[in-house]
Amino acid sequence: MSLTSILSAEAIENAVKDCQAPDSFCYKKFFKLCGLSSKTPQEVKDVFQILDEDNSGFIEESELKFFLQRFVPGARTLSEAETRTLISAADDDSDGRIGAEGTRHANQTAFGAKEIQTQVPLMLMISPRMASGMQEKQFTASLLNFFVYNPTFGPREGEEEKKILFYHPSEVEKNEKIRNVGLCEAIVQFTRTFCPTKPAKSLHTQKNRQFFFEPENNFWMVMVVRNPMIEKPNKDGKPPTQEYQEEEILDTVYGAVVKECYSMYKLFNGTFGRAVEAGGAELLIQKLEKFFYRYLQTLHLQSCDLLDVFGGISFFPLDKMTYLKIQSFVNRVEESLSLIKYTAFLYNDQLIWSGLEQDDMRILYKYLTTSLFPRHSEPELAGRDSPLRPEVAGNLLHYGRFLTGPTNLKDPEAKFRFPKIFVSTEDGYEELHLIVYKAMSAAACFMISASVELTRDFCEQLDALVGPQLTLLASDICEQFTVNRRISGPEKEPQFKFIYFNHMNLAEKSTIHMRKTASVCLTSVHPDLMKILGDINCDFARVDEDEEIIVKAMTDYWVVGKKSDQRELYVILNQKNANLIEVNEEVKRLCATQFNNIFFLD
């Protein structure tokens, strides 16, 4: 998660600009300007978490000096006087740190409770240093390095630095950067001698693992992940023993993460080659810096799993008639606003219709569901039971609003800038404005050629046309959905959990994940089981034929993987005393109830 997912980039910029002059920083004004004062407690907590660089749960005085830089990289450092004022305002227990810990008391004074309006106790966060000394400490997989290079940019000795297009973390000393990049280059070259078309994809070491990816000719992306580690304290003041769990990391999962990094970059910036063509390596370096600086913060490597390998799309189940209504809506909007080239329709963060091609939709879907929607999530307005036709209060005739572009159409200062995305066409790429418009749980994405300038008129027209229709549709879908659920009977907590994926249409379905976003990935099963799923997936990838794998996990769970044609199904059964035959029967039954309308061999 990045700060800008909670606070608007514009507001932050304003706030920082306001206190540009030395010793002009006033925290009250700053919080107000950057919009923090009007955020929910959860959001404030998230901000706090981002500011807390070492994840200690506290912001130390030393960190506070770079307070402004956490908001805007180029901002000035705070003077000692300023940090002290800030600390004294927030630090009620005079320990020299600002905390957001679980006591109401502390929390009420942090940052001055009135301004932030934090009303619920924040989650207790204990930094590793705070934990009692005798316990084992667990470190999850985390990002060590991430870099992009092109060997052809600095082929001669002494020019090696030119190869490096992006390096994270940027503080690393230049020679080390060059060394690391050179090593990767060497490994790739070396492995090429064995198989020229398939050079190494990853390098396993005890402490970390490196992933190599060549998305475009001669452009390499490398991600270095630190292996999960357990630190066992030793008596007698000896340094603790570190046990690296290199087996915990799956090549497929993190390989997919690197690829996704590229796809996401490409979605918003086009290919690397395009930037080089337009403005040479300098432009590409700028773009990479701008994009990855934020993007890498949103990578949560510890919660990556099988779903990242699939990169699937969750489709919203819908009856034919409602689906046709949506079709009709999309067609009408595209007809009356002829600028619109493509439309995508989502409900409840699940896809219903995509006018984009599959691969573009896959990455756009990822962006929408893991980044854009969570940023704008708010308690959904009522609508399930209350019919919200004309008697909506005041002049609010519908619930439609822009998620990208102007937040308030009536604001005379509103800017009509929309993010631009790149999608593939038959002959290359096209650049599009991305308009995301949402009414209740229904979201419509409209894509318009970037060569057209979008005006206030157009946005107002779109708002007037789409708003009421989308509001109506959303309540229709909701109604239909509840009707369908009622028909299918009350949901019983099933004995099994499953992940389903179809390579053909990228449809995925998971009852293991409650909700998957970039920041939180709530799985309801133990990571060990997820690891088994990943292993089974690797096995499947190796052969083309249909197969079935049944595993009994250490924790007495049964894990079943099935592959039929292009479909994969992973089931986790919680039946300790079941035998192989019973498990097989159970899975058959599951297939018959959940997947009776597809051709799925058993």
* Interacting residues with other proteins (CB under 8 A): 315, 318, 320-321, 323-325, 327-328, 331-332, 334-336, 353-355, 357-358, 502, 504-505, 507, 546, 565-567, 597-599, 601-602
The DSSP secondary-structure symbol of 357 reads -
Q: Please, which residues have CB within 8 angstroms of residue 348's CB and are 6 or more apart in sequence?
A: 316, 441
CB of 337 to other proteins, least distance (A): 12
Is residue 498 within 8 Å of 559, Cβ to Cβ?
no
CB of 431 to other proteins, least distance (A): 20
What whole-number distance in Å separates Cα of residue 437 and Cα of residue 448?
A: 13
Strand order in the sheet with 137-139: 137-139, 229-232, 241-244
CB of 509 to other proteins, least distance (A): 13
Pick 14 or 584: Cβ nearer other proteins:
584
What whole-number distance in Å separates Cα of residue 549 and Cα of residue 559?
A: 8
What whole-number distance in Å separates Cα of residue 600 and Cα of residue 590?
A: 12
Pick 593 or 597: Cβ nearer other proteins:
597
Beta bridge partners of 425: 428
Cis peptide before 169 (omega within 30 of 0): yes
**Nearest Cα residue to 586 out of 599, 602, 600, 568:** 602
CB of 137 to other proteins, least distance (A): 47
What whole-number distance in Å separates Cα of residue 99 and Cα of residue 59?
A: 6
For residue 420, count other CB atoms closer than 10 A to its CB: 16
CB of 332 to other proteins, least distance (A): 5
Pick 281 or 507: Cβ nearer other proteins:
507
CB of 393 to other proteins, least distance (A): 28
Pick 460 or 548: Cβ nearer other proteins:
548
CB of 328 to other proteins, least distance (A): 5
What whole-number distance in Å separates Cα of residue 415 and Cα of residue 467?
A: 19
What is the rounded end-to-end Cα distance, in angstroms, of the chain?
42
Q: Which helix (H) or strand (E) is 77 found in, with range?
A: none
What whole-number distance in Å separates Cα of residue 405 and Cα of residue 391?
A: 28
Pick 532 or 583: Cβ nearer other proteins:
583
Pick 218 or 566: Cβ nearer other proteins:
566
CB of 354 to other proteins, least distance (A): 7
CB of 551 to other proteins, least distance (A): 21
Pick 335 or 457: Cβ nearer other proteins:
335
Pick 200 or 507: Cβ nearer other proteins:
507
Pick 479 or 565: Cβ nearer other proteins:
565
What whole-number distance in Å separates Cα of residue 397 and Cα of residue 92?
A: 47
Specify the 3-state DSSP secondary structure of 19. Answer: coil
Q: For residue 74, what are its two tokens?
A: 């180029």
**Backbone CA torsion sign across 393, 394, 397, 403:** negative
What whole-number distance in Å separates Cα of residue 122 and Cα of residue 504?
A: 44
CB of 424 to other proteins, least distance (A): 12
What whole-number distance in Å separates Cα of residue 74 and Cα of residue 142?
A: 26
CB of 323 to other proteins, least distance (A): 5
Pick 241 or 484: Cβ nearer other proteins:
484
**Backbone CA torsion sign across 46, 52, 58, 64:** negative
Is residue 525 within 8 Å of 536, Cβ to Cβ?
no
Beta bridge partners of 423: 430
Pick 189 or 358: Cβ nearer other proteins:
358
CB of 532 to other proteins, least distance (A): 25
Is residue 285 within 8 Å of 316, Cβ to Cβ?
no
**Nearest Cα residue to 469 out of 317, 314, 313, 337:** 337
Q: Which helix (H) or strand (E) is 452 found in, with range?
A: none
Pick 244 or 323: Cβ nearer other proteins:
323
